[in-house]
Chain A
Amino acid sequence: MVVEELRRLLPRLETIATETRALAFGLPELDRALPQGGLAFGALHEIAPQDARDLPCAFGFAAAILTRLPRTAPVFFVFASRNLRFSGRPHGHGLNALGLDPARVILIETDHDKQSLWAMEETLHAGVPATVVGIIDKELDLKVSQRLHLAAAASGRLLLLLRPAGAIAASAAMTRWRLRAARAACDRFGLITHACWHVTLERCRNGRPNDWLVEFDHAAHRFSLATQLADHPLPHRTNTQGARRAG
C-alpha cells in the first residue's frame, strides 16, 4: 500500500525541479511523448546519430531545437577542435540558413573532451542565460552525465549533448534522441525545401519512446511530421545519355 503510494509519487519527485518549464517542439505528437510537454529546462538531453555519417543530422536537429528558443538567447557550442576535423566545423551561413542566427552563437574550442566537459559545467554554473550544446567524441560514464545533469538542473538551462554514434552507456540524461538521415522534402519543382530526419526518442524518463519522421521548416522554425514516407525521388534534370566518368 505504502509502496504503491510511493511509486505514484516517485515520478513527481524526480521531476520536481523541472516540471514547471519546458521547450515545446510545437509538434503535438512529439510533445505528448514527453512528460513535461517538451524538452525540460534544467536537464541534460542527449542526441546521438544512428551512425557516424548521421552526425550532421544530429547537429541539424540540435540547431533546429535551438531556433525554438527566444531569439536573443545566446548559444554556446562546446567541442574539441580535433573531434570536428573529420565532420567539419559549424558553418555560420549554414546555421543562418537553418534559421539559427549565428550572432547568437559562441564557439568554445577545447583540446579534448575532458576540457569540453569542464567548459560545459563552467558555462552552466556561470549563471549566463545561455543554452549549452556540447559535442563529444567519447563515451561518457554515468557519473559524468550525472554531474552535467546536476549542473543543468542548478542553472535551469537546457543542456544538449551530441554523443557519438553507437552510444549505449547508461546516462543520467532526461531524454535521449537517435537521429537518422531521411530524404529531404521537396517542392513540386524538385527543389529541397525542408530538412527531414528519422527521429527516435530512445529513452525518456516517464515518457513514451517512439519514432517519427520529422520535417523542419527553417523559415517558420516549425517542426512537422512528414506527410508521406520520403520516397519521392528528386528528378535528375539532365539528359540521360551514357554515364561518363569525370575526375
Chain B
Amino acid sequence: MLVVDGPGGGRIAALNDEAEKAGAAIGEPLADARAKAGFLQVRPAESEADTAALHRLALWATRYTPTVAPWGEQDGADGFFLDITGAAHLFGGEEKLLGDLHDRLSAFGLPSRLAIAETPGAAWALTRFHREPHKIIGADTELFALSALPIKALRLSPETATALQRLGFKRVGALCEAPRAPLAARFETELLRRLDQALGRMAEPLAPIVPPPVYYSLRYLLEPIGAQEAVVSVAKRLMQDLVYALTRDGVGARALRLSLYRVNGLVSQIEIALTRPTRDVAHVGKLIDLKLERLPDMLESDFGFETLGLAVTLAERMEPAQAEIAAFAGDDDPECTAALIDRLRQRLGPRSVRRLAPVESHIPERAEVMTAAACTAPAWPQPDDTQMRPLLLLPRAEPADVTALVPEGPPQRFRWRGVTYAVSGAQGPERIAGEWWRTQTEVPTRDYYVVESDAGHRFWIYREGLYDRETTSPRWFVHGLFG
C-alpha cells in the first residue's frame, strides 16, 4: 500500500490486489484502512520516481511508434498513449501489436490494461473501466462501447463527476442522450469537451515524449545485438531505408537520433549533428561508429539491443548532387571538409572543431571568438600594421615584476615565470581604454608594449592603470608572445 500525506493524515495513493481484497480503497484515509486490516504494509509513495519510471517506459514504447505521450496529471499519470496510425501493420495487425506489448510488459513484471480505439479518450476509458484487460474497438463504435461505462471514464475532474452523480447521471450513455444545452450551461466546457474528445467529435492533440521526427525508420531484430560493428551495420541499413524518402523530398539530414532499445526495456539515444545536410550512408555509419567509440559503457551491458530506430530530427534542403562537376572540382570540395569536421566532432566532442572570428572590440581578449566550424569562413579585416598583435595569446594575462626607469615608461627589465629578462628594446605604448559602457565598475586603462629580450624573445606586456591619474602603483602583465 502506498500512501501520500494529505489533510488529516495519510491517504492511500496506490495498493495491490491483497490490500484491495482486505477492503482498502484508493483515496481512503490510512487510519480507516488500518482499522480494517492491520496487517497491511505501508510505504510512502514516491511520485517523482513514478514519473521517472513512466517516462522511461514511454521512451521504451517508442519502439512501436515514434508518437508516445505519457499521461499527464489529469489522465492519472499511470500510462501512456501510443499513436499507432500506420504502425500496426508492422506487427501483423492491431491484435498482434497489443499481444506483443502485453507480453513484453509482462516480461518486465508489469501488469497491463490495453485498449485500441479511434480516439485517445475512448482508449483511456476502455483501459480504465472495461471488463476485459485487452479491448479493441473499431471506428465509429465509441458511443456503443462507452455507453455502459461509468461517467468517470470521461476523465472528468472530481467536482464535475460528483455533481453529475448528484444529478443522477451514472453511465456515459445517459449523458450522451441528455440534451447538450443544459449540460453546457451547467458545466462550462469541460464536460462536453471530454465527451466530444472521447467520441471523436473533437480533436485531442497528444504531447509526445519526444517530438515525432519527419523521417523515421525502425528495425526489429530476431536476436539481440551488442557488438559495435553490428550496431553500426544495422544503423547503416536504417539510413539506407531513409535515403529514398530524403531523396524524394530533396532534403538531407542535419541531425539524427539513433535509439537503441535494450531487451530489459531501457533506451539509449545517440544524437548526431552534421555540418551539412547529408544522405551519405557510409558517412552516417562512420559518425555513429566514432560516437560509440566515445561511449564505451553504452555498449557494455548484459542485455543486447533488440530494436534500433533511426530518426532524422532535422532535415534541410539539399542541392541536387552534381557528381560530374564535383569530380573536377577536386581541390576545393566543401562536402569533403564538412564530412571530415563531422567525424572529428563525433570523436573529439562538439566543441573541438572551431574557427576564429573577429569581434569589434579593442580589448584583446575580447577581439575574437571561437565559432563552430561551418563551411563559410568569417571575413577578417586587413591587418593593421600600426598595431602589433602576438601570435600566441595567453589564456589570461599573467602578472610580471617589472623594473621601469619611470613609472609611465616602458619596462627595463622584467621577471615572469621565474625568469628575468633584460629588455633590449621596447615599442609602444599602445593605449587601450577599458570598455566603460560594458561594466559598472571602473576598468583601468592598459598601455601595451612590445618588448624584446636580449635573446630575441618578444613579449606583449601591458601596464594596468594610468600612473597618477588612475593609480599610483600600476601593475604589469604579460599577455602574449610573438613568433
> Which residues of A pack against B, CB within 8 Å?
53-57, 59-61, 63-64, 72, 74, 84-85, 87-99, 101-111, 115, 118-119, 122-123, 126-130, 180-184, 186, 190-192, 195-196, 218-219, 230, 233-236, 238-247
Contact = CB atoms under 8 A, between A and B. Distances in A.
A56 B388 CA distance: 15
Contacts of A104: 377
A65 to B, nearest CB: 12
B404 to A, nearest CB: 5
A102 B480 contact: no
29 contacts: A56-B391, A88-B394, A88-B481, A91-B393, A92-B358, A93-B364, A94-B391, A94-B393, A95-B356, A97-B383, A102-B356, A102-B358, A104-B377, A105-B355, A106-B341, A109-B353, A115-B347, A128-B333, A129-B331, A130-B337, A184-B452, A186-B425, A218-B383, A234-B425, A234-B426, A236-B405, A238-B405, A243-B405, A247-B475
Interface string B412-435: 100000010000111100000000
Interface string B392-410: 1111000111111111011
Contacts of A196: 456
A105 to B, nearest CB: 6
Interface in B322-366: 331-333, 336-337, 339-341, 343-344, 347-348, 351-358, 364
Nearest to B343: A122
A16 B34 CA distance: 93
A88 B370 contact: no
A224 to B, nearest CB: 16
A218 B385 CA distance: 10
Given A103-B379, A195-B482, A238-B410, A115 B348 contact: yes
A63 B354 contact: no
Nearest to A88: B392
Point out which of B373, B399, B475 has the most chain A C-beta atoms below 10 A from its C-beta: B373
A83 B343 CA distance: 23
A196 B405 CA distance: 28
Interface of B: 331-333, 336-337, 339-341, 343-344, 347-348, 351-358, 364, 367-368, 370, 373, 377-381, 383, 385, 387-395, 399-407, 409-410, 412, 419, 424-427, 450, 452, 454-458, 463, 467, 473-476, 480-483
Contact of A238 (B344, B367, B406, B480): B406
A61 to B, nearest CB: 7
Interface of B is mostly: mixed
Given A88-B392, A88-B394, A98 B483 contact: yes
Given A93-B358, A240-B405, 17 more contacts: A59-B392, A87-B481, A90-B391, A96-B381, A96-B389, A97-B388, A102-B355, A102-B358, A107-B356, A118-B347, A128-B337, A183-B425, A196-B456, A238-B409, A239-B409, A245-B404, A246-B404
Contact of A110 (B339, B348, B391, B467): B348
Contact of B473 (A181, A190, A247): A247
B403 A246 contact: yes
Nearest to A123: B340
Contact of B427 (A88, A105, A234, A244): A234
Contacts of B390: 56, 88, 91, 94
A246 to B, nearest CB: 5
A89 B480 CA distance: 9
Contacts of A247: 399-403, 473-476
B456 A245 contact: no
Contacts of B358: 92-93, 102
B344 A122 contact: yes
Given A92-B380, A115-B347, A107 B370 contact: yes
A9 to B, nearest CB: 32
B406 A241 contact: yes
Contacts of B343: 122, 126
Point out which of B351, B368, B378 has the most chain A C-beta atoms below 10 A from its C-beta: B368
A49 B355 CA distance: 26
A192 B450 contact: yes
A223 to B, nearest CB: 14
A32 B247 CA distance: 55
B348 A119 contact: yes
Contacts of B383: 93, 96-97, 99, 218
Nearest to A89: B393
Given A110-B348, A181-B456, A234-B425, A105 B356 contact: yes
A91 to B, nearest CB: 4
A184 B353 CA distance: 34
Nearest to B459: A56
Given A60-B482, A99-B383, A92 B377 contact: no
A182 B447 CA distance: 25
Nearest to A234: B425
A103 B380 CA distance: 6
A243 B426 contact: no
A128 B352 contact: no
Nearest to A99: B383
Given A103-B378, A123-B340, A126-B339, A239 B405 contact: yes
A246 B402 contact: yes
A101 B379 CA distance: 9
Contacts of A72: 332
A156 B399 CA distance: 45
Nearest to A70: B331
Contact of B476 (A60, A235, A246): A246
A106 B376 CA distance: 11
B71 to A, nearest CB: 43
A195 B483 contact: yes
Contacts of A230: 456
A152 to B, nearest CB: 16
A186 B452 CA distance: 12
Given A243-B405, A246-B403, A88 B483 contact: no
